[in-house]
Chains A and B, each alone.
Chain A
């Protein structure tokens, strides 16, 4: 059984993990925004996104913790450019449908969320330190 004393920390830590995943995925999307190179499955890089899910306890109630899962969004943009090295037989070039602006916004939002959750964690630590001082009234 997890230590009940750290429940609040687990919640904030799960959020920081999820937001960090979101930042990693957004950065990856940005890096591959114009990528047309075909991968193993014959398609170019597909945009990825992180789906957030609230963690539930045995009774089905939200614990407050959150989980992030990476999901592929296989939407592609296509244009005609026969001279392109990755053009197919019909001269069509396929790339992931990635809007750099959206990815930047996601990156910044995730970063802010990450900080907010880190602050919540720090606040809880201060609360526990405050509680610890109750044990020594002479000091």
Chain B
């Protein structure tokens, strides 16, 4: 598989703080690449250096083997985490404005259909809902038919329904074999969308790979949860089970054996939940804190 972007020994320092501390990774062409981490991990700084918006303290970014320069803006699409559009312009006027910046543009009709903008084309962009606004920002990122698309926490602040709609849009873009670089702190989003991920914390990469491979590599057990009121303290102490938020967490490598043990101990099984490990568990295991909770 060809490499779309290479990040080599990237560092970014603000006064005494290393926002990004010597990270390196490759983004494969046509893949959705996820930069995962809690707030303050250095994801946005990394992606903005890759976009050419801010400069690195050291290290380099190569696009298909070449150094990044201002011309790259013709070939990439960007959706920032926080951005505003010019006041008083309608959605259509905003699309027209951004179209004029590029040599190559996608037909507006196609973009409007793809991002489902038709019902609010003549609306002032300040009056859009969160989901509509994100769809417009995605359309602007796609307006120049980019080969590489950067999406910085595109679903932050959206309700679950709007998030799932947005995931569908990104999956459609993936189907067109475009390279996507996505930052998020939602593990389910990364699991749904990303082919490869890098997990960052405090400016450093703590692990990298495909989500499936990382989970298989780090977990061969499942989590069994029971309401704490159903489990006598004596058993919790004896088996060294953990209590989390009024639930008893039992880590098991053999579900059948664990269930037999619970039945033999006379513990009722109402409310029992079995869950396999996810990326949040992986992050917790590697850093001792959660993605969203930190």
Chain A partners chain B: no
Q: B residues engaging A (CB < 8 A)?
A: none
Chain A residues engaging chain B, CB cutoff 8 angstroms: none
